[in-house]
Structure 1
Amino acid sequence: MSPYETGLVVAGLDRVAEDVLVLTLRHPLGEPLPAWEPGAHVDLVLGPGLERQYSLCGDPADRRTWRVAVARERAGRGGSAQVHERVGPGDRVRVRGPRNHFRLEPAARYRFVAGGIGITPVLPMLAAAQEAGADWTLLYGGRTRRSMAFTGELSRYGARVTLAPEDETGPLDLAPVLADVSEGTLVYACGPGPLLDAVERRCPRGRLRLERFRPAARAPAGAAEFEVVLARSGRTVPVAPDVSVLDAVRAAGAEVLWSCAEGTCGTCETDVVEGTPDHRDSVLTDEERAAGETMLICVSRCRGKRLVLDL
């Protein structure tokens, strides 16, 4: 089934921190929006070649509006600049989703770590953890206090939240937060790559859930050619060493949704019927990679000569 996609109206546009805008989106006819859970994101289709993923950071119980926060990236690829410079109240924005590869799993204890705009998927998780009566804390860092979004909303949680602006406290000190990641504890982290790498080094295997905005550094995928069989048509498509599975199957006429082409958004996740994927993404968990039931075809390849995909 194709994901929900429609034009939504910008019902509100608020600056919540230095270089961070929050868009409140509403259906033009007042229709309810699809349900979502903490950790979900949507694609904003801002123009040709400008599809960007933003985490939903509002209240999942509010079916009337979606809320996303957009940090202006001076060295970005143009998506954030488009929002900051050209989107205004009353404008329509094409939105696709929601999708969720960062779900909040049930746990007795949570340790949340956020850096910069990485607070956005975490924000609704905190409310859910609080409502569930879980033991939780948040360590939230940023360049300066002025650059850190939602600090006013976070103040209601009191001592559970530690704000750590780098110009006041130095680099985030992960040791106290991650000193005791015991049985029953899950760590959720989102933010810049170096921060996530540091969290990953300190966490026991299986206890960490990450969401990356940029692909993780990985070894080269290898130069072997292989073939992909499109299960729905039976057609066999060769995949050359310098061509992605996504590009190869699209050139062969397969209809595939895709967005980032970097293995970070999950849009092109495809079911694997036969074969063993060589996972190169930054989305799937270790358990999902080991199962081999799906793959991100924009970056992942084949451990062998043949894959059969549900396309």
Structure 2
Amino acid sequence: MVGETTIPLRVRSVARISVGVTELVLVADDASELPSWAPGSHIDVQVRPGLVRQYSLCGDPEDRSQWRIAVLREPESRGGSAALCERVQAGDVLTATRPRNHFPLLESPRYLFIAGGIGITPIIPMIDAAHAAGADWRLVYGGRSEASMAYRDEVASVDPERVLEWPQDRRGLIELDRLLDEPQPGTLIYCCGPEPLIAAVEAKSAHWPHKTLQVERFAPRPLTDVAPNTSFEIELVDSDEVLVVPPDRSILEVVDEAGIYVLSNCEEGTCGTCQTTVLEGVPDHRDSVLDEDERAANDTMMICVSRALSARLVLDL
């Protein structure tokens, strides 16, 4: 968490809530009130120095006394999920960033929520908020099996008639063709889950009205037709410097080496921490945060992964 103010959090409880999923309830180490957040927010948890992972807040935004996250134990964990699921205990202290939200719940008369596996976590507070607002909503919740699907009872308790469970071992893959065949006026689609589900929902909803679909990824989106890396210049207006970014270095690495302070975290284009204003030039967007319109505007970029299509970028750094 380079250059970021973090919050010490004490683990109040650790519980296995489904096959492969562990819930952590976190409180401020000094027992103070935690920062506010809204549905769709996530925090970046420092598992150990140099190892940071993002987790959606899935509790009650009105409860400032604690935060709740759920961690999927990845079979090929690089250390993050294994540590949190197997070694963290009640009473341990972790550090995390303040909540950040690139997946906000926009106001709408109706919603279609599509969650896959651990992707249910940001959806839980969205359902509560939509229900409290009197919006029409439906949830299609898929997973490998019922035993692996966390928070089944919790989401069903809001309104069981609006929840359709889709365990893959009994029903196969979610029938997106039927679900998304006819665009529903005034409906926003929110989707979170594994990349194959998100990609399929993007493809099957392409004929819906523009910006109907809102997604969140916690792994980099696959990149296709990416131009080869080339050298380019970056002009930093605040620092009054011009630097060269070689093909094998990122903008973030170059500015950091020059001693210029930039908040950063994931370094893979998923967390949004290093978002930087572009004053001139054309970025080569390679992040998993900005939507199609934001990329087309070319006025902001994630400097940890994105590069340049023009010879020079002028950045607000």
Question: Which bracket does the TM-score occupy, shorter chain normalised?
Answer: over 0.9
Runs of 5+ in structure 1 lacking a partner? none
Tell me the distance in 1 between the aligned counterparts of 2:268 and 2:5: 22
Does the alignment pair 1:210 with 2:215?
A: yes
1:109, 1:177 → 2: CA distance? 15
- Give the structure 2 partner of residue 297 of structure 1: 303
Distance in structure 2 (CA, Å) of the matches to 1:298 and 1:32 = 32
5 Å matches for 1:107-146? 107-146=108-147
Per-residue deviation at 1:28?
2.0
Q: Give the Å deviation of 1:3.
A: 5.8
**How far apart are 1:206 and its partner, in Å?**
1.7
Q: Give deviations 1:89-120, integer Å, cap 9, x for gaps.
A: 01100111211110111111111111110111
Q: Structure 1 vs Structure 2: percent identity of aligned residues? A: 50
1:108-187 to structure 2, matched below 5 A, reads 108-156=109-157, 157-187=159-189
Measured after TM superposition, the shift of residue 32 of structure 1 is 1.1
| Aligned alpha-carbon RMSD (Å) | 1.4
| Secondary structure in structure 1 of the residue aligned to 2:98 | strand
1:72 corresponds to: 73
Per the TM alignment, residue 173 of structure 1 is displaced from its structure 2 partner at its CA by: 1.2
Which is further off, 165-174 or 255-264? 255-264
Distance 2:249 2:37 in 1: 34
Question: Conserved in 1, the CA contact under 8 Å of 2:10 and 2:92?
Answer: yes
Q: Is the 8 A contact 1:221 1:301 kept in 2?
A: no
Counterpart position of 2:246: 240
Deviations 1:205-231 (A, max 9, x none): 421111112212112243221111222
- 8 A Cα contact 1:111 1:178, kept in partner: no
- Cα gap change, 1:274 to 1:93, in 2 (>3 Å): same
- CA 1:234–1:212: 2 relative to 1, 3 Å: same
3-state SS of the aligned residue for 1:99?
A: coil
| AA of the residue aligned to 1:302 | A
Q: Secondary structure at the match of 2:189?
A: strand
d(CA) in 1 for partners of 2:299, 2:229: 23
In 2: Cα distance, 1:291 partner to 1:33 partner: 35
- Per-residue Cα deviation, 1:5-46 (whole angstroms, up to 9, x for no partner): 121110111211111111111112221111111111001011
SS at match of 2:139: strand
Please say which of residues 2-11 and 34-43 is displaced more in the overlay.
Answer: 2-11
Q: What secondary structure, in the 3-state scheme, does the structure 1 residue paired with 2:94 have? A: strand
Provide the residue aligned with 1:191 in structure 2.
193
Is 1:7–1:94's contact at 8 Å kept on the other side of the alignment?
A: yes
Q: CA deviation at 1:304?
A: 0.4
C-alpha distance in structure 1 between counterparts of 2:263 and 2:53, whole Å: 13
Match of 1:306 in 2: 312
Determine the C-alpha separation between the residues in 1 that align with 2:5 and 2:177.
Answer: 41
Question: For residue 91 of structure 1, what is the amino acid of its counterpart?
Answer: D
TM-score by length of 1: 0.96
Partner of 1:225: 231
Which residue number in structure 2 is paired with residue 201 of structure 1? 203
Checking the alignment, whether the CA contact within 8 Å between 1:258 and 1:267 is kept in structure 2 is yes
Which stretch has the larger CA shift, 144-153 or 21-30? 21-30
1:131/1:176 CA distance change after superposition, 3 Å = farther
Alignment partner, residue 93 of structure 2: 92
TM-score (norm 2): 0.94
**SS of 2:17's equivalent?**
strand
Secondary structure of the residue aligned to 1:129 is helix
- In the other structure, the counterpart of 2:270 is 264
218-227 vs 21-30, which moves further:
218-227
- Could you list the per-position Cα deviations for residues 39-90 of structure 1 after superposition, in whole angstroms to 9, with x for gaps in the alignment? 1100101112210000000111111111111010011211000101221001
Q: Give the 5 Å matches for 1:58-69.
A: 58-69=59-70
Q: Equivalents in 2 of 1:222, 1:132: separation in Å?
A: 48
CA separation in 1, counterparts of 2:303 and 2:149? 34
Q: Distance in 2 between matches of 1:181 and 1:86?
A: 46
Question: Where do 5+ consecutive residues of structure 2 fail to align?
Answer: none
Counterpart-to-counterpart distance in 2, 1:256 and 1:182: 42
- Which AA in structure 1 matches 2:268? E
User: Cα deviations across residues 264-306 of structure 1 (Å, max 9, x unaligned)?
Assistant: 1112111222222111111111121122221111111112011
User: More displaced, 189-198 or 272-281?
Assistant: 272-281
